[in-house]
Chain A
């Protein structure tokens, strides 16, 4: 079982890839990566982002892909960047595996019942790691 968890932060999509081996051990692979768009109004960069994401998904060949839902109605510091919705839309267009949306509350409730014992290789990958882990065991 191979899963990709994605967190979109501003203009960057953070991908964490987890793989469960035949003994049931889940480990983060070195395919984890982040992609960004520096100029969201530049069509070339938008297409490059699309190509990078699609090539990564094709290459990783995951069983499930999930994105952390960002609350579109959140205010103040938590307001999601409008560009993040553009990135989300591009990712959703991938048609070989369904893109699942996972609410942060779902993850919190799940890990409350079954505490998380592993963590991401890097701090910034934490939310994407949790989505990937959730998809891998659920």
Chain B
């Protein structure tokens, strides 16, 4: 075992990973509130695995969820090899290591095409169907950082199942988890109730983020208006300032103002907004009732809309028929549209009147 540089990690965890006879750990990542993550190799099986440690309340009995999770075998849900408790107040999951890392890492490094986005959302919804229907579980912490991507086929895998909880069939809800505030659905802030449709809301946010709507996760102060930022600047105490900021964000979530659909890229077809509007409705009862109804609309988008890829300085539009368009601005800042059929050279298309509306009406036609 090399140097792990995990000095900041709890002593009980450090001791455990160094004395585990089944797994030899070789790497460590500190994920802050998201837990402590170790990578290792199972000594008998020879495969790469991940050990993820969470804080767990000593009295919290997650036996039922643990047993259910261990028995889930679905291509869009991370396989759990084992889940155990580690005294005094930790729990850990032992899972396979997935090739592509998490979705947050992917969206920070490259633009996904709209069809890639739609296929990722479709895969997440298939995984969610398994959790919701057969198991009556809600995830409660869906966000790009908790979706792993298997690079073979860009398959999304729902991971980080530490917040999963079984829905009480009498009430139809459970309490919300203490997950990232930006992803908390309005009903959890108003009444601390988390429904199946609350997971739908979180998938809606992932969808919005992947499509490049305004979601400054690394600079959340950008969500504030000038007036709000000025007001916040007047608070000198750091803790008070943080609390005031959280209060402002919560108010935006409750009013449905955190997600602004008008910030989506100009080229997206209006159907995208309709689907997002339904998934992100502030009233949970107005959202898609089940993942399969959401999935049906995602598949409709896949069928009806071309594939848009935003590249440096240009937008590429690919149709299933092989027809392609590209839009860019020339040195005079005028739009230029080029078209080509499969395996043919690019040719200018001047059938538009120079406005983006006219251009989009041309390039959307298959």
Give Cα distance in the complex from A35 to B299, angstroms.
10
CA separation between A115 and B275, bound complex, in Å?
41
Asked if A72 is at the interface of the complex by the 8 Å CB criterion, the answer is no
Closest to A61 in B: B133
Question: Cα distance A39–B300 when bound, in Å?
Answer: 12
- Is the beta-carbon distance between A58 and B133 smaller than 8 angstroms? yes
Is A58 touching B299 in the complex (CB atoms < 8 A)?
no
A59 touches B303 (CB 8 A): no
Task: Evaluate contact between A59 and B133: CB separation under 8 angstroms.
Answer: yes
Q: How far is the CB of A95 from chain B (nearest CB, A)?
A: 13
Answer whether residue B176 sits at the interface, using C-beta atoms and an 8 A cutoff: no
Indicate if B122 sits at the interface (CB-CB under 8 A). yes
User: Are B299's CB and A56's CB within 8 A?
Assistant: no
Number of interface residues of A (CB under 8 A): 18
Q: B residues touching A (Cβ–Cβ < 8 Å)?
A: 122, 125-126, 129-130, 132-134, 289-293, 295-296, 299, 302-303, 320
Give the distance in Å from the alpha carbon of A48 to the alpha carbon of B126 in the complex: 11
| CB–CB A51/B295 < 8 A | yes
| A55 near B295: Cβ-Cβ < 8 Å | yes
Interface residues of A (CB under 8 A from B): 30-31, 33, 35, 38-39, 42, 44-45, 48, 51-52, 55-56, 58-61
B299 pairs with A52, CB closer than 8 A: yes
Interface SS of chain B: helix, strand, loop or mixed?
helix
Please give, as numbers and ranges, the residues of chain A lying within 8 Å of B133 by CB-CB distance.
Answer: 58-61
In contact, A38 and B303 (Cβ under 8 angstroms): yes
Inter-chain CB contacts under 8 Å: number: 46
Given contacts A31-B289, A51-B122, contact A58 B296 (CB under 8 A): no
A55's contact among B126, B289, B320, by CB below 8 Å, is which? B126
Question: Bound complex: CA of A101 vs CA of B133, how far in Å?
Answer: 25
A-B pairs, top 3 by smallest CB distance, nearest first, are: A55-B292, A59-B133, A48-B299
Q: Smallest Cβ distance from B339 to chain A, in angstroms?
A: 23
A84, chain B: closest CB distance, angstroms: 19
- Asked if B303 and A45 make an inter-chain contact with CB atoms under 8 angstroms apart, the answer reads yes
Q: Assess the A58–B122 pair: CB atoms within 8 A.
A: no
Q: Please tell me which one of the listed residues A33, A38, A45 contacts residue B293 in the complex, with CB atoms under 8 A apart.
A: A33
Q: A31-B289, A31-B290 are in contact. Are A58 and B303 (CB under 8 A)?
A: no
Select A59's contact among B122, B132, B299, B302, beta carbons within 8 Å.
Answer: B132
Asked if A58 and B134 sit within 8 Å, CB to CB, the answer is: yes
Given A44-B302, A51-B122, A59-B291: A35 in contact with B130 (beta carbons within 8 A)? no
- CA A45 to CA B296, docked complex, whole Å: 11
Q: Within the complex, which residue of A35, A38, A39 is in contact with B296, where a contact is CB–CB below 8 Å?
A: A35
Are the C-beta atoms of B130 and A52 separated by less than 8 Å? no
Residues of A contacting B129 with CB < 8 Å? Answer: 55, 58-59
Set A38, A42, A44, A52: member contacting B292, Cβ < 8 A: A52
Query: Using Cβ atoms and an 8 Å threshold, which residues of chain B touch A52?
Result: 292, 295-296, 299
B342 to chain A, nearest CB (A): 16
Listed A/B pairs (7) with beta-carbon separation below 8 Å? A31-B289, A33-B293, A35-B296, A39-B303, A56-B290, A58-B292, A61-B133
A31 to B130, CA, bound (A): 17
How far apart sit A39 and B366, CA to CA, in the bound complex (Å)? 14
Known contacts A39-B303, A42-B320, A60-B133; 7 additional CB pairs below 8 A are A48-B303, A51-B122, A52-B299, A55-B295, A56-B290, A58-B129, A58-B292
